[in-house]
Amino acid sequence: MLKAADQAWLQDVIDKLTQKMDWVSEKNRDKIPYTTKDGTYDDRSVDNPSGDAADGICWWTNGFWGGMMWLMFHETGNEKYKEIAGISEEKLDQCFSDYYGLHHDVGFMWLPTSVANYRVTGNPESRKRALHAANLLAGRFNLAGGFIRAWNDLKEGDTRGWAIIDCMLNIPLLYWASEETGDPRFKQIAMKHADTSMTAFVRPDGSVNHIVEFDPFEGGVARTYGGQGYEEGSSWTRGQTWALYGFMMSYIRTGKEEYLHTAKRIAHYFIANIPDSGVIPVDFRQPAEPRREDDTAAAIAACGLIEIAKRAGELEKDLYLGAAVKLLRTLDGSRCDWTEATDAILRNGSGAYHSKTHHHAIIYGDYYFMEAIFKLKGNDLYIW
């Protein structure tokens, strides 16, 4: 798939990844990181910055560290990565007993940990954890609106009808549960949510809404919100990538052609808006200043684009693969830190346009960068 020069570059990145993760994993083996402070990973398994039930051990990104360990185990065969992945998976058991901090993001939490573990080792405890999480996710389905509710009660007010584009990456947990148990209900819920998302979230030009509010009693769209983007009607880039990659995941699991077409439409919009620099802003429709960027969106987009390229015709393949390689080369060339000055790899993530802080390490950026690199090699552990 790759040109000779790109193959040499890819091997160089894999060598740097392997070298860095060797010491980073040992240094942080008992943690569940989210970001860094003075170059050292924090630990969301013990820290709770806000005191809210959804922070701390129930924080939505807490599956990605385990996912990184499974990717490294798959790539290297080194048993230490499997051991470290098991530490964070067991710590997440506390979330089930705490309960109140869990919401739609259980897919992000247990696909890279328990589902990955079960796929690789057949661990029956991991299967049980993942099925428990799948039942929690299925229980959030709103029949009237055909959507999975996003967060629990928030300070913003009544959120019973809220759904978000991010959930397209949680519903693969439901596809897995149907495949594993033979029970079609999980897949039916996942597909209904995906179908609703195609019409309610994805705009004709391929841009997407972040938050859509439905009438929780009667169904139907009540309004949309800008969410983590610049404003209502704008184009939050990470939301674009959740949709791009998420609809590909639904296509891979179901074969429904509309999901593939939707993923391509979103991909075309994303590719058309990639700056010449290859550096992705937080929102494609944000003001020129202040310049706010999000490397995590580039990494996630690359994963989705590579998956589309695998299933594209010869005339299309180079478009998707070329865009993915451009994004990843940009990240490696000017956005990664391969030194021992920091535990993280990507340096410039942004949680939301209106966040107080920007351009810092975020764990899922590193996860999806690793996944994309191993996809290019043809040796990724597909856990979705």
In degrees and rounded to multiples of 5, residue 164 shows phi and psi of: -130, 155
Residue 156: predicted pLDDT: 73
Q: Would residue 315 count as lying in a domain? A: yes
Give the separation between CA 241 and CA 367, rounded to whole angstroms.
14
Helix (H/G/I), strand (E/B), else coil: 221: strand
Amino acid, res. 325 = V
| Closest listed residue to residue 18, CA positions, set 81, 64, 61, 67 | 81
Q: Would residue 1 count as lying in a domain? A: no
Residue 153 annotated among the catalytic residues of the structure: no
Residue 380 annotated among the catalytic residues of the structure: no
Catalytic-role residue among 42, 166, 366, 380: 166
CATH of the domain at 363: 1.50.10.10
Residue 3: predicted pLDDT: 85
| Closest listed residue to residue 13, CA positions, set 67, 56, 75, 63 | 75
Quick check: 137 and 107 in contact, CB under 8 A?
yes
Radius of gyration of the chain (CA): 19
Q: Would residue 355 count as lying in a domain? A: yes
Where are any strands of DSSP class E within the chain? 36-37, 40-41, 141-142, 147-148, 162-164, 211-214, 221-225
Residue 292: predicted pLDDT: 98
Strands 147-148, 162-164: parallel, antiparallel or unpaired by DSSP? unpaired
Quick check: 366 and 303 in contact, CB under 8 A?
no
Give the separation between CA 55 and CA 29, rounded to whole angstroms.
20
Give the separation between CA 377 and CA 36, rounded to whole angstroms.
28
The per-residue DSSP string of 32-53 comes to --SSEETTEE--TTT--SS--T
**How many domains are there within the chain?**
1
Give the separation between CA 4 and CA 19, rounded to whole angstroms.
23
Q: Would residue 384 count as lying in a domain? A: no
Q: Would residue 106 count as lying in a domain? A: yes
Range 87-93 contact pairs with CB under 8 angstroms and sequence separation of 24 or more: 87/29, 87/30, 88/31, 88/32, 88/45, 88/62, 88/63, 88/113, 89/113, 89/114, 89/117, 89/126, 89/129, 91/32, 91/45, 91/57, 92/32, 92/57, 92/62, 92/63, 92/129, 93/129
Catalytic-role residue among 15, 43, 55, 105: 105
Q: Would residue 161 count as lying in a domain? A: yes
Q: Look-up: residue for tokens 């802003």?
A: 281
Residue 213: predicted pLDDT: 98
pTM for the model: 0.98
The pLDDT tens digits along the chain (384 residues) read 688 889 999 999 999 999 999 999 999 999 999 999 999 999 999 999 988 989 999 999 999 999 999 999 999 999 999 999 999 999 999 999 999 999 999 999 999 999 999 999 999 999 999 999 999 999 999 999 999 999 998 777 899 999 999 999 999 999 999 999 999 999 999 999 999 999 999 999 999 999 999 999 999 999 999 999 999 999 999 999 999 999 999 999 999 999 999 999 999 999 999 999 999 999 999 999 999 999 999 999 999 999 999 999 988 999 999 999 999 999 999 999 999 999 999 999 999 999 999 999 999 999 999 999 999 999 889 999
Residue 153: predicted pLDDT: 85
Cis (ω within 30 of 0) for the bond into 290?
yes
**Residue 184 is part of which domain span?**
7-377
Residue 118: predicted pLDDT: 98
- Residue pLDDT, tens place only, 319-347: 999 999 999 999 999 999 999 999 999 99
